[in-house]
Amino acid sequence: MIRRIKLPGWIVIILLLAGIIFGINQVVAKVLAESPEPNEPNEKIVDSSVYPGLNIKTKTKETDLYTLSVSQPYTDNEQINKSINEWVDKQKKEFTSSIKESKNMLEENDFRAHLNIQAETEKIADKIYTLEFEAYQITGGANGMTKMKSFVIDLNQNKLLQLDDVFQLNEESIKNIQKLIMKELHSNQKISFYIFDDLAKEALKDPDKWKWSVGRDKVTFYFDEYEISAGAAGAIKAKIPMEKIKPYLNEKFAKKIDVKIPEKENSKEEEQHSEDKVKLDPDGKYVALTFDDGPHPDVTLRILETLKKHDAKATFFMLGSQVEYYPSLANKVEEAGHEIGNHTTNHQDLSILGLNKIKGEVQKSSRIIEKATGQKPTLLRPPYGAWNDSVKQVAKQMGVPMVMWSVDSLDWKSRNAAAVNEKVMSNVAPGSIVLLHDIHPSTADALPQLLTSLEKQGYQMVTVSQLLELWDGKGAGPFYGKIG
Could you report the per-residue pLDDT of 282-332, keeping only the tens digit for each?
Answer: 778 999 999 999 999 999 999 999 999 999 999 999 999 999 999 999 999
pLDDT at 403 over 90: yes
> Region 357-365: what's the mean pLDDT?
95
Domain positions in the chain: 55-258, 286-471
Q: Is the pLDDT of residue 275 over 60?
A: no
| First-to-final CA distance of the chain | 70
Task: Give the residue among 116, 89, 138 at the shortest CA–CA distance from 346.
Answer: 116
Q: Is 292 labeled as catalytic in the residue annotation?
A: yes
List the single range of 80-94, 189-203, 265-279, 401-415 with lowest mean pLDDT. 265-279
DSSP secondary structure letter of residue 67:
E
Chain CA centroid to CA 69, Å? 5
CA dist 434 and 431 (Å) reads 10
- Cα(117)–Cα(348) distance, integer angstroms: 9
How far apart are alpha carbons 416 and 428 in whole angstroms?
18
Any bridge partners for residue 87, and if so which? none
Q: What is d(CA 477, CA 380) in angstroms, rounded to the nearest whole number?
A: 10
178-187, 206-215, 335-344, 470-479: least confident range: 470-479
Sheet holding 218-223, edge to edge: 212-214, 218-223, 236-241
- Mean pLDDT, residues 215-220: 90
Report how far residue 428's alpha carbon sits from residue 483's, in angstroms, rounded to the nearest whole number.
Answer: 7
pLDDT tens digits, one per residue of 415-452: 999 999 999 999 999 999 999 999 999 999 999 999 99
Strand partners, 479: 403
Read off the pLDDT of residues 104-145 as tens digits, 9 standing for 90 and up: 888 888 889 999 999 999 999 889 999 999 999 998 766 788
Name the active-site residue from 292, 293, 411, 438.
292
Helices and strands in the chain, H and E counts: 16, 15
DSSP letter string over 365-416?
HHHHHHHHHS-----B--GGG---HHHHHHHHHHT--BB--SEE--HHHH--
What long-range pairs does 88-94 form, CB within 8 A, spacing at least 24?
Answer: 88/117, 88/133, 91/115, 91/117, 91/135, 91/137, 91/147, 92/36, 92/68, 94/137
Residue 324 and residue 318: Cα distance in Å, rounded?
Answer: 10
User: Which is more confident, 149 or 17?
Assistant: 149
Give the closest residue to 106 by CA, choosing from 71, 142, 64, 68: 64
Residue closest to 312 by CA, chosen among 342, 340, 283, 275: 275
Q: What are phi and psi of 237, to 5 degrees?
A: -120, 125
Position 39 confidence tier, pLDDT thresholds 50, 70, 90: very low
Residue 170 phi, psi (nearest 5): -75, 165
Q: What are phi and psi of 364, to 5 degrees?
A: -65, -45
Show the beta-strand stretches assigned E in 204-252: 212-214, 218-223, 236-241
**pLDDT score for 144:** 82
Complete DSSP assignment for 91-157: HHHHHHHHHHHHHHHHHHTT--EEEEEEEEEEEEETTEEEEEEEEEEE-SSS--EEEEEEEEEETTT
Pick the CATH number of 286-471 from 3.20.20.370, 3.30.365.10, 1.10.150.120, 3.30.43.10: 3.20.20.370
Cα-only R_g, the chain? 26
Q: Looking at 114, 338, 347, 437, which residue is catalytic?
A: 437
Is the pLDDT at 205 greater than 60? The verdict is: yes
What sign does the CA torsion over 26, 31, 34, 35 have?
negative
CATH architecture of the domain with residue range 55-258: 2-Layer Sandwich (3.30)
b vs e for 346-370, b when ≥16 Cβ sit within 10 Å of the residue's Cβ?
bbbbbbbbeeeebbbbbbbbbebbe
Distance separating alpha carbons of residues 115 and 135, to the nearest angstrom: 7
